[in-house]
Chains A and B, each alone.
Chain A
Amino acid sequence: MSYFLQQLINGLTLGAIYALIALGYTMVYGIIGMINFAHGEIYMIGAFVSLTTFFVLGAVGVTWVPLALVLVLIAAMGFTAVYGWTVERIAYRPLRGSFRLAPLISAIGMSIFLQNYVQLLQGARVKSLPPVIHGGFQLMESNGFVVQLSYLQIMIMTLTIALMAGFSIMIAATPLGRAQRACEQDMTMAALLGINVDRTISTTFVIGALLAAVAGTMVTLYYGVIDFFIGFLAGIKAFTAAVLGGIGSLPGAVLGGFVIGLIEAFWSGYFNAAYKDVAVFGILILVLIFRPSGLLGRPEVEKV
């Protein structure tokens, strides 16, 4: 029982991270109907920036954890947002209106470029961060197995929920959110009504990057090791989460994220951990075959 509970906690934490990344995928897909293949790399960049910032802060003597955390988040979000913005400007905006494979290939090229960019500049080996946030609760014990819930895990989960709630409110109530929804429905009409479509799309990418940066920071704290390749796998899984939840739906992305995190945790806990990624990909394929609109999405009607 306690083993199950521990997997549950681990799965929810992992799921929260996937949810943050999945939100970025789903928002961009919602507005331009395209998967941002490079989004995983944006998350990876967020992780690297956060790690570097931690060490910089350590070097200049900022050791009070809450302050360091806030500064790291600001730095990671800030720099990663610029990366997200730049990727959209260079690789996607010029191709709006081009034949349908073009933005896809451009995105893949961007993904490859960013992976190797980081690999060349930061080295191909893993980088590690000593644990920053210590401690937590011991929930229960049975058969000598102690179920632990760390402060870090609580922080990750609450941050994800808070961000998701915040963005949902933003989408529903602010002018930006309305502009986004308008662009999703009919970009030409939105432009004719005076909405700055370019700026709306850029903002969407930036928001996605901000969320990915938070995810990257959390991963750095949680696992303590990062390398240039983490974006690739996390990207596919987060995309699976977005599709599972219903691409284009924000609550769907979060739901999907948690489900994928739980599946991964339970699979590695009870079955062969080596095949956990296969399990997640399998989910992706099954969802796309049998319920492509996902759990919370609306079925897409083909425009002829």
Chain B
Amino acid sequence: MSPKRIIIDTDPGVDDAFTFLLALASPEIQLEALTTTQGNVTLEKATRNALSVLELGHASQIPVVAGSMYPLVQPLRASADVHGTSGIGNSRLPEPAAKPLPQHAVDYLIERVLAEPGELSIFPIGPLSNIAMAIRKEPRFTAAVKELVIMGGAISENGNVTPLAEFNIFVDPHAAHIVFHAGIPITLIPLDVTHKTLLKQEHVDRLMKIDSPISRFIKDAVEVYFKFSYERGFTGCALHDPLTLATVIAPELLTLKEYYVDVDYSTGVAMGKTFADIFNVTKKPVNMKVAMDVRGDDFIELFVRRMETLARSITG
């Protein structure tokens, strides 16, 4: 079977960076581009980080395209507490040699998707500003995208930025509303499953047995994230974004349910809350598949093994 062709739309971000590395380490996936957006960090840092991580993974041939600097309607919000001020914990990657493409990410996504209708899957793992703008700017985009696999939302799980809302959706709830209702086939990977997918110190120790910049990067990247996670009562850090790739490399680990899903953008206490009509009380048609359960430890084991393989191939 030929590998799945994907573009990751991202705001790197510790777990974003791990997603790129996992994609590069997975023969089932052909990573064709990274498009960047504000979110975990500013657009400028996100773009720099994307380029740096690709260089770390010896994949600087993969294009990086910068996108939205601001959420659509809400004010800008970047989360240094989780991801560190650089965006990837305490890691110190060198300034990237490569530059982003001169195009805007919204136009790049439109161009790539329309050039090969039905071929490209997009994995948005940050706020959905770029995807929403592409949908509104080019209505034909919707029918030409193969699918979206989105990290976002908290369905039956508590929020991680307000009591109810998950970060990516909270940052740009209007964009999420546009994307959820566009009619594109969607798989949602919410906190309900990512909070069961915890990378622990023992995994990092295991990776550190391989002398590679990949292991050292992972160790440095997760330090801040571990501290943050322990404070919240977790025994490790949730690999939110990499879990999107489970839909390709280990779909059997996920339990997917079909629901009508919406997001509150009405500016009350539930602003940015993603909810599913689990009992179909609204009688609205299903608009996505939602991962409601996961064999989290199995996914972490798969992640660590792939990182070990990547680390062995990139030494020095």
- Do A and B assemble together? no
Residues of A within 8 A of B (CB): none
